[in-house]
Amino acid sequence: MGILDSKVPSGPLADKWTNHKNEINLVNPANKRNIDVIVVGTGLAGGSAAATLAELGYNVKTFCYQDSPRRAHSIAAQGGINAAKNYQGDGDSAYRLFYDTVKGGDYRSREANVYRLAEESSNIIDQCVAQGVPFAREYGGLLDNRSFGGVLVSRTFYAKGQTGQQLLLGCYAAMNRQINRGKIKPFNRHEMMDLVLVDGKARGIIARDLVTGEIERHSAHAVVLASGGYGNVFYLSTNAMGSNVMAAWRAHRRGAFFANPCFTQIHPTCIPVSGDHQSKLTLMSESLRNDGRIWVPARKEDADDIRSGKLKPTQLKEEDRDYYLERRYPAFGNLVPRDVASRAAKERCDAGFGVNKTGEAVYLDFAAAIQRYGKEEALTHGMKDPDESTITKLGKDVVESKYGNLFQMYEKIVDENPYETPMMIYPAVHYTMGGLWVDYNLQTTIEGCYSVGEANFSDHGANRLGASALMQGLADGYFVLPYTIGDYLSNDIRTGKIDTDSPEFDQAEKEVRNRIEKLMSAGGKHSVDYYHKKLGLIMWNKCGMSRNGEELQEAIDEIAALRADFWANVKIPGEGDAMNSELEKAGRVADFLELGELFAKDALTRNESCGGHFREEYQTKEGEALRDDENFKFVSAWEYKGEPKDAVLHKEDLKYENIELKTRSYK
């Protein structure tokens, strides 16, 4: 066995998971009561894992930095969650979901994990419906579906534009039942600062009470990290302001390998950056691409006139518009995967066709959908000769019922009515496919340390398909981890409580305190945000939507210098042992400054383009990503060795036994 043993079970793809579940060890209910599990993170992945583990009988402690699990970043998820239910009878199946996901990820994900995800997807919907999640329904009362990018079926279940919120309410209710039973002990406003290993096994964490500033020790037989993604390494992203890499990174420093750090998703439909005052970007859900058509003016003169305010988009005739996705990708049209749509928008804007003042925006237009829906509604209401305004009104009502909250959000931010004039959108950092390396059982390279949800690298390869993050997080938490962790914990039925009064806990706590002291005693020249913004600019300009070898090397050098400056000169007001939000941010940015460098190093090492990782040197004549399967068909898993420059690369070779490796095409 190599150092990276993915532990994928043998046997036919479709039987692997069932056989594995039948073969792994179980813990009897009486013994579960003697076993403690720590779950760091109570978003959809951690919340679902915690609720299920507690329901099974384990003693669970949960940690989150917000004041309630209700506020995890998962709540922001808008568009929907995939499941291969085939309710539409449009040819969907577990195999197709598996195939779409592997292809969507540009053949850089592990087949067995993705197949399991597709298999479990149906269970998630049943579970959530049973919890009372109000998924959208059709006229007849059946659950409705819509389409997301990179697929030719409708398999996305949704609750208007608030799917994450509704799923999280269901999950939180499940958690609350366990909190009430005393099976989950929640530690909100607590931040995990370090992972504690005893005899090479994860046996606890050091956490900081963010309200009192106290440092605490917590022990358990296993630790689950469900701490979300690291998109905020770019400073500007669609992620919640607090999203960070600390828990995963601290585990990395203790021996958990970090996989594919450079695989980041840039989402094509976000509200464009409006200036350097911003600290957050806003997503306009991919669901909008079901009905919105993306275009720019076909002629540069028109784009110039639009930018200078001489021309309005609604004045441009159909033949003067370039629906570039429909033109380039007739089969998938506006619903190509995110990496493809983002690059195409950048290409048009770089060529001078952008439509806002900065030249970095394209249109997302609902005029055609409003007319189409309006006519359909008029017919179904028995109207014989409806006039234009009736059709438009009926059409707008349908669009509002589908996307009302997103349209309202857009209008509040941009101060333009998207029912009347096309939305302006541009790609922004959104999701991180990279994360902690995990095996088939979701265990990291540290025994007893598991990772679920966006925090792990698992299923999405080099590009995640829309509506698949919620699916993965909930599959991990409700249906995968609760089985696989039992296999590990079955060895702990006689271990007894893990003592926090041990040299390992002493040492970890000491290191946490030293780190805080070091941050508090730095030179005091620049704010934490000053460094975070600088890092974000390097990341966006040199490691963003497209990358090249020269700039990646520059990024590595610049980030290393910025990190040194940060530790020498960061300014953190207040006290280290009290509530201090600047100190919280500083700890997170310190980790981003290490991760950022590893990110660039990973991107520099991967001499190919695949999915969201687009190296300018490796592209086809048409500007599409050019994979190199011979040399790069692997997961890169980095081992911590001190400075990111010293990190050691391990490779998990990806085997494709059930899917033929092809050039990814959406034409």
The Cα 607–Cα 614 span in angstroms is 10
The Cα 257–Cα 405 span in angstroms is 40
The nearest distance, CB 375 to ligand FAD, in angstroms, is: 29
Stretch that binds ligand FAD, among 372-380, 390-398, 447-455, 647-655 (CB under 6 A): 447-455
Stretch that binds ligand FAD, among 24-32, 73-81, 297-305, 539-547 (CB under 6 A): 73-81
CB 115 within 8 A of CB 108: no
Q: Is 34 in the site for ligand FAD (CB under 6 A)?
A: no
Tell which one of 252, 346, 430, 627 touches ligand FAD (CB under 6 A): 430
Q: Is 453 in the site for ligand FAD (CB under 6 A)?
A: yes
The nearest distance, CB 384 to ligand FAD, in angstroms, is: 40
Tell which one of 53, 226, 340, 572 touches ligand FAD (CB under 6 A): 226
How many CB atoms are closer than 10 A to CB 562?
A: 16
Q: Is 473 in the site for ligand FAD (CB under 6 A)?
A: yes
**Coil vs helix vs strand at 586:** helix
Nearer to ligand FAD, 208 or 343 (CB): 208
How many CB atoms are closer than 10 A to CB 412?
A: 9
Q: Is 465 in the site for ligand FAD (CB under 6 A)?
A: no
Q: Is 244 in the site for ligand FAD (CB under 6 A)?
A: yes
Q: Is 73 in the site for ligand FAD (CB under 6 A)?
A: yes
Stretch that binds ligand FAD, among 78-86, 194-202, 350-358, 512-520 (CB under 6 A): 78-86
Q: Is 537 in the site for ligand FAD (CB under 6 A)?
A: no
Nearer to ligand FAD, 209 or 305 (CB): 209
CB 383 within 8 A of CB 376: no
Q: Is 264 in the site for ligand FAD (CB under 6 A)?
A: no
Stretch that binds ligand FAD, among 36-44, 318-326, 367-375, 411-419 (CB under 6 A): 36-44
Q: How many CA atoms lie within 13 A of 564 on its CB side?
A: 7
Tell which one of 163, 443, 463, 636 touches ligand FAD (CB under 6 A): 163
Phi and psi dihedrals of 199, rounded to 5?
Answer: 50, 40
- Pick the catalytic residue from 338, 563, 588, 615: 338
Size of the site for ligand FAD (CB under 6 A): 46
Reply yes or no on whether 338 is catalytic.
yes
Nearer to ligand FAD, 164 or 313 (CB): 164
Q: 437 Cβ partners below 8 Å, 6+ apart? A: 4, 256, 257, 258, 259, 444, 445, 456, 457, 635, 637, 652
Q: Are strands 264-270 and 258-259 parallel, antiparallel or unpaired?
A: unpaired
**Coil vs helix vs strand at 170:** helix
Stretch that binds ligand FAD, among 79-87, 438-446, 568-576, 619-627 (CB under 6 A): 79-87
The nearest distance, CB 436 to ligand FAD, in angstroms, is: 11
Q: Is 149 in the site for ligand FAD (CB under 6 A)?
A: no
Stretch that binds ligand FAD, among 401-409, 465-473, 506-514, 517-525 (CB under 6 A): 465-473
Q: Which of 604, 654, 622 is nearest to 102 (CA)?
A: 654
Among all residues, whose Cβ is closest to ligand FAD? 43
Stretch that binds ligand FAD, among 62-70, 174-182, 317-325, 495-503 (CB under 6 A): 62-70
Query: Exposed, middle or buried: residue 182 (CB in 10 Å: 0-12, 13-18, 19+)?
Result: exposed
The nearest distance, CB 118 to ligand FAD, in angstroms, is: 14
Q: Is 467 in the site for ligand FAD (CB under 6 A)?
A: yes
Q: Are strands 264-270 and 423-432 parallel, antiparallel or unpaired?
A: antiparallel
The nearest distance, CB 470 to ligand FAD, in angstroms, is: 4
Mark residue 125 as left, alpha or beta (left: phi above 0; alpha: psi -120 to 50; beta: remaining): alpha
The string of DSSP letters for 453-500 reads: GGGB-GGGTTSPPTTHHHHHHHIIIIIIHHHHHHHHHGGGTTT-PPPS
Name the amino acid, one letter, at 643.
Answer: E
The nearest distance, CB 185 to ligand FAD, in angstroms, is: 14
Where are any strands of DSSP class E within 152-279?
A: 156-157, 184-187, 190-198, 201-209, 215-219, 222-225, 258-259, 264-270
Q: Which of 262, 256, 333 is nearest to 292 (CA)?
A: 333
Tell which one of 40, 97, 151, 311 touches ligand FAD (CB under 6 A): 40
- Which structure tokens are listed for 491? 């060895």
Q: Which of 572, 589, 581, 570 is nearest to 235 (CA)?
A: 589
Q: Is 78 in the site for ligand FAD (CB under 6 A)?
A: yes
How many CB atoms are closer than 10 A to CB 130?
A: 10
Nearer to ligand FAD, 337 or 453 (CB): 453
The nearest distance, CB 459 to ligand FAD, in angstroms, is: 12
Q: 54 Cβ partners below 8 Å, 6+ apart? A: 60, 175, 178, 181, 183, 184
Q: Is 403 in the site for ligand FAD (CB under 6 A)?
A: no
Nearer to ligand FAD, 27 or 270 (CB): 270
The string of DSSP letters for 235-246 reads: SSSSS-TT--SH
Q: Is 72 in the site for ligand FAD (CB under 6 A)?
A: yes
HEC assignment per residue over 17-84: HHHHHHHCCCCCHHHHCCCEEEEECCCHHHHHHHHHHHHHCCEEEEECCCCCHHHCHHHHCCCCEECC
Tell which one of 147, 243, 269, 458 touches ligand FAD (CB under 6 A): 243
CA distances from 133 to 121, 158, 354 (A): 15, 10, 40
Q: Is 227 in the site for ligand FAD (CB under 6 A)?
A: yes
Q: Is 64 in the site for ligand FAD (CB under 6 A)?
A: yes
Q: Is 66 in the site for ligand FAD (CB under 6 A)?
A: yes
Q: Is 125 in the site for ligand FAD (CB under 6 A)?
A: no
Nearer to ligand FAD, 161 or 486 (CB): 161
Name the amino acid, one letter, at 658.
Answer: N
By annotation, the residues acting in catalysis are 338
Residues that bind ligand FAD (CB under 6 A): 40-46, 63-66, 72-74, 76-81, 163-164, 191-192, 226-229, 238-239, 243-244, 246-247, 283, 285, 430-431, 453-455, 467-470, 473
